[in-house]
Amino acid sequence: SKEKGGNVAQFFDDSMRYKFQDNLLIENALRLVVENGCGFEQYYQPKTQFGEVTSMEALIRWHHPDLGHVSPSAFIPIAEDIGLILQIDEWSLNQACRQNKKWQDEGIIEVPISVNISAKHFQQDYLIPMIESALLESGMEAKYLKLEITESVFIKDPNRVAEVIRQIKSLGVLISIDDFGKGYSSLSQLLLLPIDEIKIDRQFIQDIDQNDKKALLVKSIFDIANGLKINVVSEGVETENERALLVGIGKGEIQGYLYSRPLSKEGMEEFLCVQTGV
């Protein structure tokens, strides 16, 4: 029922209008959650090597009374657009440090925890004080904190970003490049930075056992990273065949549904009990 005219309305077909309203709902609900300081939950996904948990990643979960479960892939980009991501990531960071310190104190596990940090933080001056405060407040040692950032941070002002990364490193905090290979940065540029880890994006891992080109590509990434003493994590490992092929390719950690989906705090504690046979 719309005419093609020169007006803006033609861009809003029904599906777009629906999506737009959806986003507005999420946006308003997000504002309330952030204001009230509750409504999020943190899940944890283990990373393993030789079947042992070597670290874990904190992943945010949001259950809204009316909207139901809203995936982070849906609300994180919105939060980035409306400027709420800074507070959300601050919540994730504080929560992860507190929980990991608690697990250490309780003798449950002593491994680094990874927290996803939006590229938006690299255009602000709050990141370093935010990290310092999370460490101070939780009492967790800096070496147990790893920040996962994506290549998209380098789009704007790569020199400034490199400087911020050096500052983070000087605190003793570790840096991981998430979704490695998905962006368009040059491999050499990325690997010249003082990074501790790369996480090979799931698209290169999926069905790697059935795709010689993927296997060759991933092998070359492993060779370079292993040579530079950069830790390699394979993301999204779902099958035993994928795992077996990756273990044959080089040294690194495995993360994915094959070992475990992201788990609640209680779920993780149960998982760890079963692992260690307690």
For residue 136, the SS3 value is helix
151 touches which of ligand C2E, Ca ion, none (CB within 5 to 8 A by kind)? Answer: none
The residue among 119, 115, 178 whose CA lies nearest residue 146 is 115
Site stretch for ligand C2E (CB under 6 A), options 104-112, 152-160, 209-217, 236-244:
236-244
Q: Are 232 and 218 in contact (CB under 8 A)?
A: no
Question: Among 113, 198, 256, 272, which residue interacts with ligand C2E (rule: CB under 6 A)?
Answer: 256
For residue 263, the SS3 value is strand
| Residue 209 interacting with ligand C2E (CB under 6 A) | no
Site stretch for Ca ion (CB under 5 A), options 75-83, 183-191, 237-245, 252-260:
237-245
115-154 residues in contact with ligand C2E (CB under 6 A) are 116, 118, 148
Counting every residue written for the chain, the total comes to 278
198 touches which of ligand C2E, Ca ion, none (CB within 5 to 8 A by kind)? Answer: none
Rounded to 10 deg, the angle between the 127-138 and 85-105 helix axes is: 30
**Residue 19, exposed/middle/buried by CB under 10 A (0-12, 13-18, 19+)?**
exposed
**Residue 226, exposed/middle/buried by CB under 10 A (0-12, 13-18, 19+)?**
middle
Q: Which is nearer to Ca ion, 206 or 234 (CB)?
A: 206
| Residue 92 interacting with ligand C2E (CB under 6 A) | yes
Question: Among 30, 33, 53, 59, which residue interacts with ligand C2E (rule: CB under 6 A)?
Answer: 59
207 touches which of Ca ion, ligand C2E, none (CB within 5 to 8 A by kind)? Answer: Ca ion
Kindly give the pairing relationship between strand 68-70 and strand 52-64.
antiparallel
Task: State which H helix or E strand residue 174 sits in.
Answer: strand 174-180
| Residue 148 interacting with Ca ion (CB under 5 A) | yes
Question: Among 47, 56, 62, 89, which residue interacts with ligand C2E (rule: CB under 6 A)?
Answer: 89
| Residue 197 interacting with Ca ion (CB under 5 A) | no
Residues 6 or more apart whose Cβ sits within 8 Å of residue 251: 222, 226, 232
186 touches which of Ca ion, ligand C2E, none (CB within 5 to 8 A by kind)? Answer: none
Handedness of CA 71, 76, 82, 86 (dihedral sign): positive
Smallest distance from ligand C2E to CB 242, Å = 9
**Residue 103, exposed/middle/buried by CB under 10 A (0-12, 13-18, 19+)?**
buried
Q: Which is nearer to ligand C2E, 43 or 103 (CB)?
A: 43
60 touches which of ligand C2E, Ca ion, none (CB within 5 to 8 A by kind)? Answer: ligand C2E
Smallest distance from Ca ion to CB 63, Å = 20
| Residue 60 interacting with ligand C2E (CB under 6 A) | yes
Amino acid (one-letter) located at 219:
K
| Residue 90 interacting with ligand C2E (CB under 6 A) | no
The residue among 183, 127, 181 whose CA lies nearest residue 155 is 183
Task: State which H helix or E strand residue 79 sits in.
Answer: helix 72-81
- Catalog residues that contact Ca ion under the rule CB under 5 A: 116, 148, 178-179, 206-207, 235, 238
**Interface ranges with ligand C2E (CB under 6 A):** 45, 59-60, 71-73, 76, 85, 89, 92, 116, 118, 148, 178-179, 236-238, 256-257, 262
